[in-house]
Amino acid sequence: MSRDGERAIELINELVTRVGNVVSDMVPPSAQVHLLNAQRELITALVLIYEHRVTAGPSERVGSSRRTVRRSAVRRRPRAANKIPIE
């Protein structure tokens, strides 16, 4: 992992620790366990996304290859005439 990635992880952990200290007084212990598990999963997902973007080649990056979409395949928003009046 790059040094930038390590710094990002340290920053995220520091922020979460500070917020956790403030919230711990208001949140019951059983809910804290669920929040900690969600936090762990979120941090893992962010690290994986970051690593994928850093290590991906130019052709693998999101948005680098554009697909052409037929106009008929694109859904159009309903026009004002199709709106239902709310009373």
pLDDT tens-digit profile, the chain (87 residues): 678 878 888 888 888 888 878 777 788 888 888 988 998 899 899 889 988 888 877 666 555 555 555 655 566 665 666 677 776
Nearest to 12 by CA among 34, 43, 37: 43
pLDDT reported for residue 41: 93
Give this prediction's pTM: 0.42
Judge contact between 87 and 35, C-beta under 8 A.
Answer: no
pLDDT reported for residue 62: 57
